[in-house]
Amino acid sequence: MTLNGAFKIDVENSSAGGAERAMWAEGDALVIGYGDDLGPGIDTDGSVAPHVGDQNDTLAQATVGFDSSFMDVHAADHLVLGYKALGGFFGVTYAPEFTESITNEDSGAITNDDAPSAYTVGYQGNLGFEGLAVQAAISKSDDVGTATTEDGDETYTKFGVSYKIGQFAIGGDVQDFEKGALTTAAATVPLGKQARRANVTFAVNENLAVGYSYTESEKSIGSGATYAQRTANVEEEISAITVGYNIAGLGFNFSYAETDNANNVKGTDYETWQIQTKQKF
């Protein structure tokens, strides 16, 4: 087996205050290690849906209901155990103190004094077929509530698939996030989220690529203990197109996104432009 390590500075996205890190041992098939938003494992925030530049939720640049991962255990301090097979990686990721709870992010008044634990089990790879990419995962978190906050487990599933043939790539994913029963009568606390995404990209040449993405997402809210008792919000839609160009190691992404019913609020619409540069050394 070989011992590997990685370190990355990412001020905007890291849960470790700007420092992502990982250390793992890897053999011909077995992988075991530790990480924080870095290293091997099933990273549900990453997507096999093809895209140029940023993903849909970042391109929208507004307060949107959609997220590339409604529950990203890989982004917390975690342990990982996996096995390489079928052109990919089967693994389990466990975070003893999972602080990335979507429940807390969506309802600012709700806080957990004791961070819950969480795990993700899944597969990511090509199943042995060239051009195919598959991501399938299920995550679960034990939520710690009080008499005036939410209580109950969080369960999250994500399935994505894409296929690349020649200069074209097409694919998408579906997500379902579910929250347990409420211990309060508040009827506006989100108890679930569902999303569907479809993307297509075209590589004009080795330096120029164009991508289009479309996403639908909705929240389930209410005080009922079952999904059937909850009321669905208006559906949010995000459409985005991106042109990416590379020249001498410098990358440029030009993006335009339209968001309808942002954060599942009817009539809240946005149009956003983004120009992004990336330099590789």
The predicted-structure confidence for 120-156, as pLDDT tens digits, reads as follows 999 999 999 999 999 999 999 876 555 445 556 788 9
d(CA 68, CA 215): 10
- Rounded mean pLDDT, 39-50: 90
d(CA 231, CA 219): 9
Is it the case that residue 90 has pLDDT exceeding 50? yes
Is it the case that residue 112 has pLDDT exceeding 60? no
Higher pLDDT, 76 or 164: 164
User: E strands within 186-269?
Assistant: 190-203, 208-221, 231-232, 236-247, 250-260
pLDDT for 152: 61
Higher pLDDT, 266 or 49: 49
Phi, psi of 56, rounded to the nearest 5 degrees: -55, -45
When mean pLDDT is compared across 5-9, 215-219, 255-259, the lowest value belongs to 5-9
Higher pLDDT, 155 or 232: 155
- Radius of gyration of the chain measured on its C-alpha atoms: 19
pLDDT for 222: 55
d(CA 182, CA 147): 10
In the chain, where the domains are located: 41-279
pLDDT for 75: 87
Q: What is the mean pLDDT of the chain?
A: 81
Alpha-carbon dihedral angle through residues 155, 170, 58, 160, given to the nearest 10 degrees: 10
Is it the case that residue 77 has pLDDT exceeding 70? yes
Whether the CB-CB separation of 162 and 50 falls below 8 Å is answered with: yes
Range with the largest mean pLDDT of 86-90, 176-180, 218-222, 245-249: 86-90
Q: What fold is seen in the domain 41-279?
A: Porin (2.40.160)
Q: Give per-residue pLDDT as tens, 152-210.
A: 678 899 999 999 999 999 999 999 988 765 555 544 455 678 999 999 999 999 899 99
pLDDT for 237: 94
Is it the case that residue 63 has pLDDT exceeding 80? no
What pTM was computed for the model?
0.82
**Strand partners of residue 176:** 157, 194
pLDDT for 101: 41
Q: Residue 104 — pLDDT band, cuts 50, 70, 90?
A: very low
When mean pLDDT is compared across 15-29, 105-119, 149-163, the lowest value belongs to 105-119
d(CA 178, CA 176): 7
pLDDT for 88: 93
Q: Residue 98 — pLDDT band, cuts 50, 70, 90?
A: confident
